[in-house]
């Protein structure tokens, strides 16, 4: 039997026309191929330290045996009394790999858009931004039961192909069978470790609805030789219930809840904030950045806030 045709609602189901609009928004993402500040959304390995000439000066540091004597910083040496060497930065190609979660939990949205749609929009913004920096871009789309890998290329057609794979997974999101989220995410990140070698920038877009030690372990391995940025997509109802009586269901079970219950709402909010804070603290041990994007506010406004905070 054929699957029913997705309803025509861009807040629930993605289309290529919709995703291509986000090429215009990509200019607000404030990172570029090359040099990064230490407080950048990328964790600092985006620019390589080299001892050379004709490059951008970064800093002076104490001379180490083996340094090229032509790079000695004589001004600092005279002021400090100790020999110092100039360090320069060189812009290097940084291929990008974007993981997009399109598993069943991403199909939820209580007010405006679903998490799945927001994840697709974020992927489009990042892919177009990276292409403008002339770096290769590809990624992986995970539907839970299967996954598609798009090899990073410096080609607009490759971005179209990547976006189409996101759309295909999004339009089947409510047909997915049961699977264990934590096991799936752990397996997928393990696979990404095999695909991504070193000197990549990797974006992982997911709701991370459960945090686990195994996921952090694989992420830390991935971050050893790559820049890693996690983007948590969440819905307002995951942080706070609406102040009314309502029913929630997973198609097999349902439960009635009283959103006016202040104790219940406080417990939900505290759990959401504590879990995220603890997860973020674990990631920071490995120089992995994470930020949140919700399904309600305009995505461009949220990204402006995020990148403004990182680049102050």
Instruction: Specify the residue for token string 């974020």.
Output: 122
Q: What is the number of structural domains in the chain? A: 2
Kindly state whether residues 146 and 20 are assigned to the same domain.
Answer: yes
Nearest to 295 by CA among 115, 103, 122: 115
Host domain of residue 61: 48-90
Residues 189, 54, single domain; the answer is no
What separation in angstroms does the CA of 78 have from each of 84, 88, 115, 176?
9, 20, 58, 68
Phi and psi at residue 297, in whole multiples of 5°? -75, 155
pTM equals 0.78
pLDDT digits (tens, 9 = 90+) for 3-24: 455 567 899 999 999 999 999 8
Give the pLDDT confidence of 212-265 residue by residue, as tens digits: 788 888 899 899 889 999 999 999 988 888 777 878 776 678 888 777 788 888
Same domain for 143 and 221, yes or no, is yes
Query: Pick from 141, 125, 215, 205: which is nearest to 173 by CA?
Result: 141
Residue 73 or 258, more confident: 73
Question: Looking at the structure, do residues 255 and 188 belong to the same domain, yes or no?
Answer: yes
List the CATH number of the domain containing 234. 3.40.50.410
pLDDT mean over 296-306: 90
Please indicate, yes or no, if residue 137 is contained in any of the structural domains: yes
Backbone angles phi and psi of 277, in degrees to 5: -60, -45
What is the model's pLDDT at position 310?
59
Beta carbons within 8 Å of 82's beta carbon, 6+ residues apart: 62, 63
- Give percent of the chain with pLDDT exceeding 90: 42
Same-domain pairing of 231 and 218: yes
Pick the last residue of a domain from 28, 61, 90.
90
User: Do 273 and 238 fall within a single domain?
Assistant: yes
According to the model, what pLDDT value does residue 119 have?
98
Q: Does residue 33 sit in the same domain as residue 135?
A: yes
Report the mean per-residue pLDDT for the chain. Answer: 83
pLDDT per residue as tens digits for the range 122-158: 999 999 998 887 789 999 999 988 899 999 998 899 9
> Looking at residue 220, what is its pLDDT?
92
180 and 291 inside one domain: yes
Q: Are residues 213 and 303 in the same domain?
A: yes
Q: Quick one: 77 and 226 in the same domain?
A: no
Domain check: are 99 and 85 in the same one?
no
Same structural domain for residues 55 and 171?
no
């Amino acid at each position: 039997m054929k699957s029913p045709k997705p309803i025509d609602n861009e807040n629930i189901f993605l289309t290529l026309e919709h995703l291509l609009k986000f090429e215009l928004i990509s200019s607000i993402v404030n990172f570029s191929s090359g040099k990064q500040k230490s407080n950048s959304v990328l964790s600092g390995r985006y620019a390589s330290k080299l001892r050379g000439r004709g490059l951008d000066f970064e800093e002076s540091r104490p001379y180490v045996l083996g340094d090229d004597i032509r790079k000695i910083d004589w001004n600092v040496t005279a002021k400090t009394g100790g020999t110092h060497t100039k360090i320069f930065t060189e812009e290097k190609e940084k291929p990008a790999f974007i993981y997009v979660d399109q598993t069943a939990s991403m199909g939820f949205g209580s007010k405006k858009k679903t998490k799945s749609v927001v994840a697709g929009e974020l992927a489009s913004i990042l892919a177009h931004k990276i292409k403008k920096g002339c770096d290769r871009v590809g990624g992986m789309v995970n539907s839970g039961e299967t996954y598609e890998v798009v090899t990073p290329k410096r080609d607009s057609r490759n971005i179209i192909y990547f976006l189409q794979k996101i759309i295909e997974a999004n339009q089947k999101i409510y047909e997915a069978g049961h699977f264990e989220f934590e096991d799936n995410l752990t397996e997928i990140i393990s696979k990404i470790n095999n695909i991504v070698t070193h000197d990549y920038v990797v974006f992982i877009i997911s709701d991370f609805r459960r945090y686990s030690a195994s996921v952090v372990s694989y992420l830390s391995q991935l971050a050893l030789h790559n820049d890693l940025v996690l983007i948590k997509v969440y819905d307002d109802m995951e942080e706070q219930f609406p102040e009314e009586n309502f029913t929630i269901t997973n198609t097999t079970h349902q439960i009635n809840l009283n959103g006016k219950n202040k104790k219940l709402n406080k417990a939900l909010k505290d759990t959401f904030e504590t879990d995220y804070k603890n997860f973020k603290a674990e990631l920071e041990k490995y120089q992995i950045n994470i930020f949140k994007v919700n399904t309600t506010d305009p995505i461009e406004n949220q990204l402006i806030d995020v990148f403004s905070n990182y680049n102050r």
